[in-house]
Amino acid sequence: MRRFFYDNTNGQCATFTIEDGIIIYENTLGNFFYRKKDCLDSSYEYIWQLDICITFHATKLSWNASQQRCADDGGHLLEITGLFGWWIGGTDVYQEGIFRWMDGAHVTYTNWGSNEPDNLMYNVIPGADCMRYGFHPKAKWYNYCWKAAMKLSNDLDIRVPSTLSSLWIVELVQLRFLGYECFTSNTNYMRCSTIKFYLLSMLYVLSILDGSSAQPTDTDWFDYFLKSGTSCKLNTCRKNDPICECYLTIEYDLSMLYKGFGSPAIFLKPQNGTAVNFNTGEKFNEKIEDSFILTDGFNLQKVISINGRFPGPTITSYENQNMIVHVRNLMHTDCMTIHWHGMHQRSTPEEDGVAFITQYPILPGQNQTYKFKAFPFGTHFYHAHIGDQRTMGLYGPLIVIPEGFQQVSQPQEGNNVFIAKLLWGDYDRKTGKAYNVTNDHSGAKYSRFRFHSGLINGRGRYYSSSTENNEAPLYKFIVEKDQKYRFRVINAATMYPFHVYVEKHRPLYIVASDGREIQEEATESFIIHPGERIDFMLHTDNVPSTYLLVAESLEVGIEQRNEYHAAEALIFYKSSPTVIDLNPPKADTNNCNVDACKVFNCPFEYYPEQENRYCFNFNNVASNDPNSQTDEIKGKATELFFNFGFPGEKGYTPGSVNGHQFRSPIVNALAQPNQVDYNCRFCNASNICKCTYSVTIDRPKDNNIYQLVLTNIGNGSGWSHPIHLHGHSFYIMKIGFGKYDITTGNIISNGGQDTIDIICNDKHGYCNDAKWRNESWSEGKHPDLNWKDPPQKDTIIVPTGSYVIIRFKADNPGVWFLHCHIDLHNTNGMGMIINELPELQRNTDEGNKIFT
């Protein structure tokens, strides 16, 4: 049988003949080199570097049938994974793959020698995979002179399961080999003639005979996902898979740079909705541009990337799947943790990811593996839970698909919309003075920091005035006409809520919040606060064109300052007769003059009358979640009041809960409870103190039902607070707004709930020890609670001057953080610990754990 081969001893292509198990080189010397391993038949090709025989079967088979086919041959089913790409055939231009038997044993192989080809020789493009291919005995595929062969590019759409523990069937979809066929040359370099080979939708089962053992390391997997920008092994995380295994590498990065393989970094600049070479103006293909970290294109920004992406890659799993997430900290000077926002962590409180409350931080250079159950289903996210790292980009989507589809909104497949923002400090460069606090029309305060730009999925435009922007690229959603699309919106912002609408598309259909299903509500727009998630359905029933998805801040007065505070993304109809407009002008708000606009989830009760908008909040929402069990929270409850605010006197108004500015423990509170200093003896109703504030929830006599009254009243009110509880989805029983002027929408002076339903028992009005003004409402007996179908959430906005009543059943032992999800408020002390059922908390070695 005549074959072609590459001889690394002299750097030449050569033909050879197999006779009686001997490889004979047909070159001028005619030397006999070494004995070939006996293979079963001519369909198997000998790979000398691995000292094994290999073949490919083009029959579409199930995993079990594939395994049996290989076993019938006396071989094994093999998996090939690569740090930079996948290939077919067993050898590649240099060591960039991990060969492994399906039973876990290793396949060893030698590194390429110095005289062997590499990807950069003879004008081969950087990163191209030169390869041998042995699908058929007559095929002549070689490990040299390839352009775009098995390279992930626009010419190649390859989907390859890459787990180390189950089936390996490679599905090639519209795969085009564009390469060269090597032949013998009399000189020391190869000459090539162009060939093309097409494979469409074929399944290959790889069977290999013989072999020894090889184990890829965690470092191999971390490096692979870092370069691919993905996160999870492809044959985990699917429906009916027992596990979902993922790898996340956390490191600092810079925006507006292209770091191509094997070449110096290229500075980028925005131009007409694209990112181009700063020096030459050269454009990049869409796939390369999609991998850029751009932020708002204004300048180089220091960000935290996850697997080289900003925001981090999506983790998609199925309800009740066992999550295994390996995290590597490559930030050279900073420690970190990751919180799995929305996950209940039942029986795994040590995996909640809060520094010094459920774990020690992951130090630079260390790895940690999180293991927990994916529950509940819905739209969630993972993010940093130490310092202000979430502000810098340490976050990504965590989507959990329900096991069944009864009573669940469809479709479940959706578009993730991450809303964030960039801030520019508390100094106004235009005036040279400190930046004044902004507020919404009700008078609620927002920020002392100037809004720089809004981002959707890591991209946005910097507006130098209310109409002029820097033409930076926006994130694109591609849709078909007359379809229904699910959009999963996550607010990862540091402090701002956003008003979200789609240009010239109304209504939007709200179907879920914080991962919990609600009865569908048609609305023109909605408001989403930091930490919240809202799912809406979009009907693409407008004229095919390019539209904007817009998330505006709620601040008033920005028009007078000639500013525009919004995040934007493109929604493009594929059937549009025109090409996509990558840099459209800013959107006009939807017209509310004829038909009043319904706005969901307002942090106030009224819009100004002239805007012809009206609010629809969680007092009016009904649950439609199959996991809700409202009977479990009915009846008498143990009631606790927690007031969130900045109480105190001018010059000292720290963030606090009931006047307690939170001081983080210095040990792991979950694992080492006896070493935590919970001493708050100097705190009382009339003063402000700093301590590790914790409230213990033991087994009460009232069926483990707890009712928390979250208030934002008294001396420290004025800012609205999105409050997040770890470990639970609570029921929204009642929102009690303060008094508003129905015409202007302003909150009335001295119109907070501390003058209506609640009394503050202290001389300073700090409201550290609030109670119901009507004592008959105590112990959970408020007369106006939603007992029929209260919605569930894990983050709820508590408007200034207002209160929110929530209920949950204390049945999840753990140490859970309750805090404001605005980073500046949280890090300033607006948080506390709920120590739930300490007598049932299981022992953990987390306190003594040293990460690798």
Q: What is the pLDDT of residues 734-763, one digit of tens each?
A: 999 999 999 999 999 889 999 999 999 888
pLDDT over 70, % of the chain: 71
Taking residues 667-689, report their average pLDDT: 92
The label of the residue with tokens 């909605």 reads 526
Taking residues 392-400, report their average pLDDT: 95
Report which secondary-structure segment, H or E, holds 824.
helix 823-827
Taking residues 402-428, report their average pLDDT: 69
Contacts of 755 (CB under 8 A, 6+ apart): none
In whole angstroms, what is the distance from residue 10 CA to residue 188 CA? 7
Q: What is the pLDDT of residues 327-368, one digit of tens each?
A: 999 999 999 999 999 999 999 999 999 999 999 999 999 999
In whole angstroms, what is the distance from residue 812 CA to residue 129 CA? 51
When pLDDT is cut at 50, 70 and 90, the band that residue 482 belongs to is very high
159 pLDDT more than 50: no
2 pLDDT more than 80: no
For residue 59, give the nearest of 202, 174, 173 by alpha carbon: 202
Highest mean pLDDT among 95-99, 118-122, 211-215, 405-409: 405-409
What is the DSSP secondary structure assignment for residue 585, as one 8-state letter? P
Report which secondary-structure segment, H or E, holds 227.
helix 218-228
In whole angstroms, what is the distance from residue 398 CA to residue 482 CA? 28
Q: What is the pLDDT of residues 137-152, one digit of tens each?
A: 222 223 222 222 232 2
Q: Taking the model in full, what pTM does it have?
A: 0.76
Predicted pLDDT at 28: 33
The label of the residue with tokens 């100097």 reads 682
In whole angstroms, what is the distance from residue 702 CA to residue 699 CA? 8
Q: Which domains does the chain have, with CATH numbers?
A: 2-214 (no CATH), 226-256+293-401 (2.60.40.420), 414-616 (2.60.40.420), 630-840 (2.60.40.420)
The label of the residue with tokens 């505006």 reads 552
In whole angstroms, what is the distance from residue 125 CA to residue 128 CA? 6
Contacts of 637 (CB under 8 A, 6+ apart): 702, 705, 706, 707, 779, 780, 807
Q: Higher confidence at residue 728 or residue 149?
A: 728
Beta strands in 112-201 (DSSP E): 157-159, 169-173, 175-183, 191-199
